[in-house]
Amino acid sequence: MRKKSNQYTKLPARRHKWLSSENLSGWGFILAAMIVFAFFTLYPVISAVFTSLQDYKPFGSAWVGFKNYTDAVKSTLFWKSIKNTLLYTAAVVPLSLLIAFVIAIMILPFEKKTQSVFKALYYLPGIASGVATAVVWLWLYDSSPSGIFNQLLGLFGVSSVNWLSSSNTAMFSLILMALLSSHGSNVIIYMAALHGIDNTYFEAAEMDGATFMHKVRYIVFPLCKPTTLFLLVTGIIGSFQVFMNAYMMTGGGPDNNTTMIGLLIFNNAFNYGKYGLACAQAIMLAIVIAALTMVQFKVMGEDVEY
């Protein structure tokens, strides 16, 4: 006999919807990604928070509270690395976006096959090993008179430059390397965004006598804003975590003028064995990045819909 349903036996509609076969399938699909996220992102972050509160030793750590955080804040090298990272980010991210945008605009008029060729060419440096790229740039930046860049300068009568060993040029050298090596993916994304702009806007603008710059300013920029915001946010996040360039090219020198926060964390963790301090610095970096991201969304993202 079928039991009469009442308010105590009937499942709430919302919970019933959760357990529907379609939703179960959805949970199944994202389960793999959730497990990977939990193991390789969430767990290390939680572990890092705990480690940042300890004087970590592999056999017998001691809880020290917020001492690692106060040590980090008191360290002049920490603030210098933050300043270096901000400088690097302020130079690389906007210029990288601008270069990618200009390249995308220039490629757009070509036919599809030609566009693909250019996109491939600009993207190729991005798939090369970062270490291999750094070694090549080290060769280019060789400070001796026989270095490639110095030989080029010599053709114009300019004396050799201490590219990576001088405080005046070391950061500029890293920025130049970043700008010339890593905007391929931005070009691809901007191209996709530009293709998404309806042609009727341009036709209407042409009928009203708009010039090329008018179209770029009043049609392309606003309609590419969501893409720009995305690239800006991800660019700043990536730039704040920069490590390999400084590690391979300058080692943080000269005089710690290219020591980025990522490199400082690496040195503290793996050269000096100060795991707790390194974790504290990493947590602080994560908070700074999160705060910057929120500010960017607040300032630029209020009228952006995805």
Partner 1 sequence: MKMKKVFALLLSVAMLASVTACGNDNNNTVSNTTDSSSAADESTEASSEETAEELPVVSEEEDTITIMVPPVTGTYTEKLAVWAKEFEDMYPHLHIEVIATSWDEHGSKLTTMALAGEAPDIAEVSYGAIGTYVEMGTAINIADYMEAGRLDDYDQNALDYMTLENTLYGLPLYITIQALGGNREMMEAVGADVAKIQTEGWTYEEFLDVIAAGTTNDIYGFVFGNSGVTTADFVSIFGVSAGISSSFTEDLKYAYTSENMLALLEAVETMTSSGYMPDYAVEAAQRLVMLETGEAMVVGKAMPLFESNVKKNNAGIADGTAADGSIEVEYVFLPVPTMEGATESVFGSVDGFIAMRNNNTTDEHLKNVCLFLDYICSGERAASVYTELYLTCVCESGRQIQSAFELDQSELNAAATARAISKVNAPPTGITAEMSAGAKTIMDEVIVPKFQALLAGETTAKDMYDIVCSAAYETFGQDNCASGWVK
CA angle, 33 as apex, 21 and 17 as ends, to 5°?
A: 25
- Asked whether position 58 contacts partner 1 by CB under 8 A, the answer is yes
Residue 144 CB, nearest approach to partner 1 (Å): 6
Q: 23, 41, 151, 167: which one contacts partner 1 (CB under 8 A)? A: 167
In angstroms, the CA 212 to CA 217 distance is 9
Residue 239 CB, nearest approach to partner 1 (Å): 22
- Asked whether position 31 contacts partner 1 by CB under 8 A, the answer is yes
Q: 5, 7, 129, 144: which one contacts partner 1 (CB under 8 A)? A: 144
Among the listed residues 209, 224, 232, 204, the one whose alpha carbon sits nearest the alpha carbon of residue 108: 224
Q: 49, 115, 165, 286: which one contacts partner 1 (CB under 8 A)? A: 165
3-state secondary structure of 192: helix
Residue 35 CB, nearest approach to partner 1 (Å): 6
Contact between 256 and 80 (Cβ < 8 Å): yes
- Asked whether position 23 contacts partner 1 by CB under 8 A, the answer is no
- Asked whether position 83 contacts partner 1 by CB under 8 A, the answer is no
Residue 71 CB, nearest approach to partner 1 (Å): 12
Q: Which stretch binds partner 1 (CB under 8 A): 99-107, 165-173, 202-210, 237-245?
A: 165-173
- Asked whether position 59 contacts partner 1 by CB under 8 A, the answer is yes
- Asked whether position 153 contacts partner 1 by CB under 8 A, the answer is no
Q: Which stretch binds partner 1 (CB under 8 A): 53-61, 129-137, 184-192, 287-295?
A: 53-61
Residue 255 CB, nearest approach to partner 1 (Å): 4
In angstroms, what is the C-alpha Rg of the chain?
Answer: 26
Contact between 75 and 265 (Cβ < 8 Å): no
In angstroms, the CA 163 to CA 117 distance is 33
- Asked whether position 159 contacts partner 1 by CB under 8 A, the answer is no
Among the listed residues 147, 171, 172, 169, the one whose alpha carbon sits nearest the alpha carbon of residue 160: 147
Contact between 240 and 288 (Cβ < 8 Å): yes
In angstroms, the CA 82 to CA 46 distance is 23
171 to 76, 151, 216, 253: CA distances (angstroms): 19, 21, 33, 9
What residues from 239 to 278 belong to the interface with partner 1 (CB under 8 A)? 250-256, 259, 267, 269-273, 275
Q: 32, 127, 207, 299: which one contacts partner 1 (CB under 8 A)? A: 32
- Asked whether position 57 contacts partner 1 by CB under 8 A, the answer is yes
- Asked whether position 196 contacts partner 1 by CB under 8 A, the answer is no
Residue 36 CB, nearest approach to partner 1 (Å): 6
DSSP 63: E
The residue type found at 212 is F
Please say which residue, 150 or 228, places its beta carbon nearer to partner 1.
Answer: 150
- Asked whether position 172 contacts partner 1 by CB under 8 A, the answer is no
Q: Both tokens of residue 64?
A: 């020290």
Among the listed residues 20, 32, 85, the one whose alpha carbon sits nearest the alpha carbon of residue 281: 85
Helix (H) or strand (E) holding 55: strand 54-55
Interface residues with partner 1 (CB under 8 A)?
25, 28-29, 31-32, 35-36, 56-60, 77, 143-144, 160, 162, 164-168, 250-256, 259, 267, 269-273, 275
